[in-house]
Structure 1
């Protein structure tokens, strides 16, 4: 087995394991949700395998419609093939050779309770004639009272992402934090999507092991911190006004994903699973008259 084949296999195995651990963590939160606040039985993920083209990989889509999580998706994919001619110039190393391999895990969580923050996490490895990692995690509180950098949820989330960056010499928390703030920005609204986290892409420091360690640390940090934040807020009762504020904020979330998110574009232009890609959209949102 050559070096790159071994690296792909190791990354794929890790992403599969991360998906399983995240699913278990979300289902544990579902089990703990109080029946006094949440109707119905604890939700469980529906697992759906899918194939890309003819023998060009695929993945395993995990969707949850529960009592605590109104909608959550935790997806694994491992695909390969060739970039379309119009897309090759946008991808490092693809203009000389259009073949690619990509593998990763993506997660989106839209809780029922407006007091519980929504969240996103993604970690991936991409190989063309070059190779790199990308990913990160960001927190998306749905109510203005939580949408400050001084709020304890955001402070704890940032601390977890900082600790992940410190696990590897490839980590640069300050740079990745600013990158996240700049990336998850809605220019037409002149506002951030959430309260941030970290974001990095096309990470190739020349030390593959360090870059892989960082990517693993990001997944582990999210696995630890987000369920803890969910448990902190999920026992808080909410009002109809709180729910309306949540619907408004979800509308902003949807705008970003449809207009600006590069992951959405990459997935659609590489023949990814459309249902999986668009599962990041909230189940219900609103655009009230302004």
Structure 2
């Protein structure tokens, strides 16, 4: 297996910094199109153990109620349990991890919450060659979904996967369904997308190319959904349902998300780790929805795994 050079790692870092900037610029444009003026505030930070990052957060926007697009490149002197459970051979090794992770919580319930993440991890066990892999993906969590958006989201995912193998979309789509699953609720977090981890099955360059395709694919997939839905009218009842469903997002991120656990176990920057939390959420005791309502259909149909390309094409 080809080991990355310092120049390779620098190229990944440069891509990630540029990706963060492009995503923030595109989302600020959506704010302007919706009549808003909010922008992403820049917060550069350093970590005592080594490394740091750039947190970019937009709050109280007209279109985006809260969005965080975070870049980090950290050094780790001793890997925590969240990183070594699946890789016991690197327990206690020093390592570095870098990535861009984002969660965007729109104000309008007709626009889904979206998440994306791309990252590189390099461990250096004493007396061994470096062990590296890429990870990432993107997924969509709608409140009032429509078939056209769900299909377009998955078509973008399938198209970016195609050059890397005819089985990649199906494999990473299934991985996404399995990963973003709330076991205690027996429901998916949303309508899925792509998820991959431990990617080193190809040489470093091809793995990096795939990570870039996924990172760039997020903007291609989410921008039309914003443009189509961000100015749709909505009721207070729909807003209340959005806040209720955001509660599920909080539950998932605090109970299951490996990135959150990794950040907490490595002594990460709490503000950056928990930026994925929505500004407002609600929990209702045993709410009930009308049998033929869109709220009922979300839970009973859309929050189940489907072959979206086959069903909606």
**TM-score, normalised relative to structure 1:** 0.91
Q: Distance in 2 between matches of 1:216 and 1:190?
A: 32
Distance 1:26 1:92, change over 3 A: same
Distance in 2, Cα, partners of 1:188 & 1:87 = 21
Query: Match for residue 135 of structure 2?
Result: 134
* TM-aligned CA deviation for residue 84 of structure 1: 4.8
Pair 1:62 & 2:56 matched: yes
Deviation, structure 1 residue 87:
5.2
Secondary structure, in 3 states, of the residue corresponding to 2:52? strand
Instruction: Number of aligned residue pairs: give it.
Output: 277
Cα deviations by residue, 1:29-86 (Å, 9 ceiling, x for unpaired): 000004xxxxxx42100100111114x1000000001111000000100011223565
Offset, 1:90: 1.9
- Counterpart contact for 1:63–1:71, Cα < 8 Å: yes
Structure 2, unpaired ranges of 5+: 124-129, 287-313
TM-score, normalised relative to structure 2? 0.84
Structure 1 CA distance for aligned equivalents of residues 78 and 219 of structure 2: 32
CA displacement at 1:187 relative to structure 2: 0.6
Maintained 8 Å contact 2:44/2:53: yes
* Residues 177-200 of structure 1: per-residue CA shift (max 9 Å, x gap): 000001000011000000000100
Q: CA RMSD in A?
A: 1.8
Tell me if the contact between 1:120 and 1:137 (Cα under 8 Å) persists in the aligned partners: yes
1:220-258: per-residue Cα shift (whole Å, max 9, x none)? Answer: 111112011111101101100100110111001110000
- Give the 5 Å matches for 1:60-99: 60-65=54-59, 66-84=61-79, 86=81, 89-90=84-85, 92=87, 95=90, 98-99=93-94
2:220 aligns with 224
Task: Tell me how far apart the structure 2 counterparts of residues 141 and 201 of structure 1 sit (CA, whole Å).
Answer: 24
Find the aligned partners of 1:231 and 1:83 in 2 and give their Cα distance: 45
